[in-house]
Chains A and B, each alone.
Chain A
């Protein structure tokens, strides 16, 4: 069978890309190998671990459960776009550093993409809500407590900055 290829045009982190991709290429592999955006991590490749979470048209999705060809005409955001510039981090990234929200860091990109969207939707979450929102992302190092602390810390700071 000759490879089934498709021309796609997609926007990733605000930049337009035109590429020719094989239909079976996963979106996660497209981002990492074709675009060199290796911030998106690949863990289980069957939708359980959440490490590959990106935003597809603004909503968190697992990029290992999507095809690159499905990015055609859609907007993707990856962890590379969270920080506003080279010298500043996103408030959630800052909070992860301060509250020790990561150890090996493998799960962090997926958790950041999941929780930034969550905080936009729910700026004042309870600890329980944070834990439920985190349920789709596995972390084998931290035991989650410091991740929860970091998300709550970021939430309180982001509320402070938006009101003042």
Chain B
């Protein structure tokens, strides 16, 4: 299992990387952590004519506070760096909680945020997390840049809204309102393996305790990260207790249509989604009330 021949170019600057992508389009692929692209090339499922290695673009490796209390994260930030970032842990505990579930330490040492998202594996944790957080993603090309909402970024299995000349360069994580609780949970056969089902939950409360906002994102539940829209509707406006949590979990079991696979049947995935929704909402609520 060896990659088919390709031309390798180490990017000297973002501009030169984008110029190459503009010139070669889909024949060229950006090489970031390579933890999904290289296996696909070893299998020859992917045979790009050119690899533009963006690892030299260290300017794209950062976690930065944005003026509005949100965070800006560079696309080349390693998953391991996310795991260890104190600012991220403080401001975006949902991301901090999800990241240790992304593959294994050796993979997290190389894998990048941007690579994970641009690969758009529906079983991956971070797309579901970004969906639940309402994150935005910045795409850049030689023509300019644009922001894409997470809900519009993931369009299918391994398919994003990125155009052939664009690079995902940055992710914006909006500030969590006060009295917001979050929780990420998944069930996998083995730590670091693909989750049979995973959920990212966000719940915000008003001063009187009523739920003002709820968002749920599921991984391995469909062709893209899947929102738990009906479940969120059950919660918003309510003083959420056990009854509402049970109703939300039941709504998720009705709403989701997971694909099922050799590790977990569709029915088992649905069951897991219900159980995880219940547990994650319970935890998120406790955290929101702290």
Contact = CB atoms under 8 A, between A and B. Distances in A.
A46 B105 contact: no
B290 interface: no
How big is chain A's contact interface, by range? 20 to 34
How big is chain B's contact interface, by range? 20 to 34
B94 to A, nearest CB: 20
Contact of B8 (A45, A67, A118): A67
Interface string B72-112: 00000000100000000000000000000001111101100
Contacts of B262: none
A44 B105 CA distance: 18
A60 B110 CA distance: 9
Main secondary structure of the interface of A (DSSP, over half): mixed
Interface string B176-198: 00000000000000111100000
A4 B8 contact: yes
B6 A70 contact: no
Contacts of A67: 8, 31, 34, 38, 51
A39 to B, nearest CB: 17
Interface in B1-40: 1-8, 10, 31, 34-35, 38-39
A20 interface: no
Contacts of B8: 4, 6, 23, 67, 69
B268 interface: no
Contact of B5 (A6, A24, A26, A45): A24
B282 interface: no
A114 B190 contact: no
A155 B137 CA distance: 43
Nearest to B45: A46
B55 interface: yes
Contacts of A61: 106, 109-110
A42 B44 CA distance: 18
Interface of A: 1, 3-4, 6, 22-24, 26, 29, 45-47, 50, 53, 56, 59-62, 64-67, 69-70, 72, 114, 118, 131-133, 135-136
9 contacts: A3-B5, A23-B5, A24-B2, A24-B41, A47-B35, A65-B107, A135-B192, A135-B193, A136-B105
